Chains A and B, each alone.
Chain A
């Protein structure tokens, strides 16, 4: 059950009044999640978790201090404010203090991100849904394993200049692995409104990949054209964001975008933006400084356009914050977390038919984008559905492969993108997502294979 806007903001404002800092900012995030994990027709883990995190940031004479607590209790908030003040006094004075706060006159767009029916459905109804899925999977000759997560979040920010922001969110998501005869297939769906979850469609998708994935064989390593399903595309895009779409990575020179704004980095088919107020994603209207999220064009028709900023890095670059400030104890700087890749013009069903010889990949596993961030060189493995395609038809399942590939190079080799897009997200955290098409790419490099 929501704590509610009044209760949370009242607690934050009361704590603000006790602060002796020049300026104080307090962000609070409360989350409640029910998780059901299942395998072999049994629920093997079922729990509900409640968590509150409060971040306090203070500025005193050019010095900044941050402290956190896990309670909205007034005494806990008082201790966090005092701790932040103590830390600020011990910190060095900064030329460009890492402090910013939104004007209380700028208001984010009203977002409908909370659907009460999502969180009010009784647990027994979720259990019956899961039982129905695993029985249906069993009738097809496979076991079903996975997880179902449902819950809510509340994000609030209050500042000593009168700033007050609040937004509730609901979330429901299912992750399914259908497995049998040594084969497996994966599918996932995440929504804010549980009425749109469609777990049966997720099961059909997982089952179809499992069915096709029997008797996988090894293939020679090397370069292949690839059809990447949205789950695989989203993982690459999220890594691009981690290593390259934030202002801190530009300042430190580690981003593939550093010194290259205005330069063509990818194929003109690729347009990537971050848009927290777009309801097609998991919309988040403001950041942890209370700044309304701006739509930021990161890559337009392959050309690098810009990165995301919080107040600190905006000040360094003489720009405005784009509304991407992270929680105050995060060290990675502003990050783009509401990602959109523009759709293409090819119907999804026609992408496979275009492949003369290549690999169709359902998803990746354990991708790591830190090999050489300046080139977006990444590695990872395929999982739960990898197929050799010849002349537009699947000819065999393939043992999981390791890729080592520059994603700048890969996205420069785009052949087509699907018209349809899918929202990919982790229901366990609920405030970030990627909305992406399927992608057909040329010459993707595979450097290893599992046994």
Chain B
């Protein structure tokens, strides 16, 4: 992700990415520049229809995450395998 935004109840989120690829009929298609996806947190996670196996699991580190007033910073990291989510809104409505 290259941009991120979520509301104060962690419901409405929007993440921007650097690059994505269309998948049509199980095949990788056109590259897309700066695709954005958005949703409501529980609906998004309920739409998860597949998670890749342990062999695909990777740990990702984030230089920092900031919360609070005054702001406090920590190095954080998540481990995840690629996962599939269905009927997610990509792009913004005009």
Contacts and interface: CB of A to CB of B under 8 A. Distances in A.
A402 B12 CA distance: 8
A147 B38 CA distance: 32
B56 interface: no
A149 B70 contact: yes
Given A147-B69, A371-B36, A381 B4 contact: no
Contacts of B94: 445
A365 B7 CA distance: 7
Interface residues of A, number: 30
Nearest to B42: A451
Contact of A368 (B5, B12, B34, B92): B5
Contacts of A139: none
Contacts, number: 73
Interface in A126-175: 147, 149, 175
Contacts of B16: 368, 370-371, 379
Contact of B3 (A365, A371, A383): A371
Contacts of B11: 450-451
Contacts of B14: 368, 379, 402, 404, 447-448
B40 interface: yes
B78 interface: no
Contacts of A404: 14, 36, 92
B24 interface: no
Interface in A371-403: 371-372, 379-381, 383, 400, 402
Q: What does DSSP make chain B's interface, helix, strand, loop or mixed?
A: loop
Contacts of B71: 428
A221 B93 contact: yes
A370 B7 CA distance: 17
A451 B12 contact: yes
A53 interface: no
A221 B6 CA distance: 18
A149 B94 CA distance: 41
A35 B94 CA distance: 43
Interface residues of B, number: 22
A301 interface: no
A451 B10 CA distance: 10
Contacts of A400: 7, 12
B27 interface: no
A33 interface: yes
B2 interface: yes
Contacts of A367: 5
B4 A368 contact: yes
B13 to A, nearest CB: 9
Interface string B52-94: 0000000000000000011100000000000000000000111
Given A370-B16, A381-B12, A451-B12, A175 B69 contact: yes
A449 interface: yes
B70 A370 contact: no
B74 to A, nearest CB: 16
A451 B39 CA distance: 11
A200 B45 CA distance: 44
Nearest to A37: B69
Contacts of B40: 450-451
A147 B3 CA distance: 28
A283 to B, nearest CB: 22
Nearest to A381: B7
Interface string A403-426: 010000000000000000000000
Interface string A421-451: 0000000100000000000000001011111
A262 to B, nearest CB: 28
A147 B34 CA distance: 38
Contact of B6 (A366, A370, A447): A366
A413 to B, nearest CB: 15
Interface in B1-32: 2-9, 11-12, 14, 16
Given A379-B16, A381-B8, 12 more contacts: A33-B70, A175-B69, A366-B7, A367-B5, A370-B3, A372-B34, A379-B14, A379-B36, A381-B12, A428-B69, A448-B14, A451-B40
25 contacts: A33-B70, A35-B70, A366-B6, A368-B5, A368-B16, A369-B3, A370-B3, A370-B16, A371-B36, A372-B34, A379-B3, A379-B5, A381-B5, A402-B7, A402-B14, A402-B38, A404-B14, A447-B14, A447-B38, A447-B92, A447-B93, A448-B12, A448-B14, A450-B9, A450-B12
Interface of A: 33, 35, 37, 49, 147, 149, 175, 221, 365-372, 379-381, 383, 400, 402, 404, 428, 445, 447-451
